[in-house]
Amino acid sequence: MTHYARRRAALSGAFPGETLIIPTGPTKVRANDTFYRFRPGSDFAYLTGDHDPDGVLILWPSGDGHDALLYTRQRCSRETDEFFRDRDGELWVGRRHTLAEKTTELGIDTTPLAELDTVLARCAQGRTRVLRGLDLRVDAAVPATGTRDRELAAAISELKLVKDEWEIAQLQDAVDATVRGFEVENNHLYTADVTRTLPVSGTFSPLQREVYDIVYASQQAGMEAVKPGVSFADVHLTCMRALAEGLVDLGVLRISADEAMDPASMLYRRWTLHTFGHMLGIDMHDCAAARPERYREGELSEEIDTLCATLNSHQT
């Protein structure tokens, strides 16, 4: 079983007996009849490995699980009008895979995208969940009901909280490439988030060096605090205390670090506007739809590898 199939199986287990619809979205117009380079929907790519536009993954209930079916564009031969005149015609965008080729490449059953409207029309309301905001055609065809769709988005985000060895290798590849240059997304869409601090004059002044060292000390304190069972919030507070103590030593904070860290004060936040870090993955700010109790209010377990990667990549 591929890692994509394992992810689909895990998602299937979270929603037994329900139809799950995950689109990737179309290409976006840049100006008039020109388009931005297509970037697949993150969750769709996470579940399929497919990087082509317009595709829709549907998990159809079957027995005690689901059958995964990818609705995607077929090849268009030179004998068709589409080949020459459609903006997605192969004359303009190059040869597309046949359905059989795509099935072999991705390890998932495929079917023509042209069938999508028909199958969406028969999806049972109240038994169907849609990943919304990616494909207007899909959103319009299946009415939203309550919080069901947000629960689907949260479930996919929470699958991403724990990275397997292959994903960690992809993250390391993205970090290494970004350190060498300025790319932040590798061929499998995994990202890095490397912060560089450069003095405008080319050389740090003594004061600039002190500020630099305060931030570096905060980063190192956070990395030392990361271990299984520690809460995300505790790592954050460790980093913030290092910043507060550095600001006191610098003479910027005129109160003690304890007073600055008091929840009723939090005066140190005048100099830092965010938390210590975030998850990395197919999105630079990965797992964004995860429930707070599973992410920022949760404890660290296997995800510490990617958390360390995040802290380490925010280098100065």
Q: Residue 309 has which token pair?
A: 């990667």
Q: Name, in order, each residue with C-beta under 8 angstroms of 38's C-beta and a sequence gap of 6 or more.
A: 27, 28, 51, 52, 53
Biggest distance spanned by C-alpha atoms of the chain: 78
> Over the chain, what is the mean pLDDT?
89
- Give me the pLDDT at residue 91, please: 74
- Give me the pLDDT at residue 93, please: 79
- Whether 141 shows a pLDDT value over 80: the answer reads yes
Q: Which residue has the higher pLDDT, 85 or 103?
A: 103
- Whether 306 shows a pLDDT value over 70: the answer reads no
In the chain, the percentage of residues whose pLDDT exceeds 70 is: 95
Encode pLDDT of 200-222 as tens digits: 999 999 999 999 999 999 999 99
Asked if 239 contacts 276 with a C-beta cutoff of 8 angstroms, the reply is yes
- Give me the pLDDT at residue 310, please: 52
128-130 sheet: strands from edge to edge: 109-112, 65-72, 56-62, 19-23, 128-130
Q: Name, in order, each residue with C-beta under 8 angstroms of 19's C-beta and a sequence gap of 6 or more.
A: 58, 59, 60, 61, 123, 124, 127, 128, 129
Rounded to an integer, the average pLDDT of 260-264 is: 93
- Give me the pLDDT at residue 315, please: 45
Scored b (16 or more CB within 10 A) or e, 228-238 reads: eebebeebbbb
Asked if 171 contacts 164 with a C-beta cutoff of 8 angstroms, the reply is no
Scored b (16 or more CB within 10 A) or e, 51-85 reads: ebbbbbbbbebeeeebebbbbbbbebeeeeebeee
Asked if 304 contacts 227 with a C-beta cutoff of 8 angstroms, the reply is yes
- Give me the pLDDT at residue 314, please: 52
Among 40-54, 107-121, 176-190, 250-264, which is the least confidently predicted range?
A: 176-190
Helix or strand or coil: residue 34? Answer: strand
The alpha helices in the chain, defined as continuous H runs, are 3-14, 42-48, 81-85, 90-93, 99-106, 116-121, 136-141, 148-159, 165-180, 206-225, 232-250, 257-261, 304-313
- Whether 316 shows a pLDDT value over 50: the answer reads no
- Whether 264 shows a pLDDT value over 80: the answer reads yes
Q: How far is CA 237 from CA 105, 247, 256, 308, in A?
A: 46, 15, 15, 16
* Structural domains of the chain sorted by starting position, each given as residue range(s) with its CATH number in brackets: 3-159 (3.40.350.10), 165-313 (3.90.230.10)
User: pLDDT band at residue 10, thresholds of 50, 70 and 90?
Assistant: very high
- Give me the pLDDT at residue 204, please: 95
- Whether 101 shows a pLDDT value over 80: the answer reads yes
- Give me the pLDDT at residue 305, please: 47
Backbone φ and ψ for 21, nearest 5 degrees, come out as -120, 120
Q: Name, in order, each residue with C-beta under 8 angstroms of 286's C-beta and a sequence gap of 6 or more.
A: 157, 160, 191, 278, 279, 280, 306
What residues pair up with 34 in beta bridges, in sequence order?
A: 31
Rounded to an integer, the average pLDDT of 38-59 is: 97
User: pLDDT band at residue 301, thresholds of 50, 70 and 90?
Assistant: low
Rounded to an integer, the average pLDDT of 247-265 is: 93
Q: Name, in order, each residue with C-beta under 8 angstroms of 133's C-beta and a sequence gap of 6 or more.
A: 139
- Whether 41 shows a pLDDT value over 80: the answer reads yes
Encode pLDDT of 164-196 as tens digits: 999 999 999 999 998 888 778 999 999 988 888
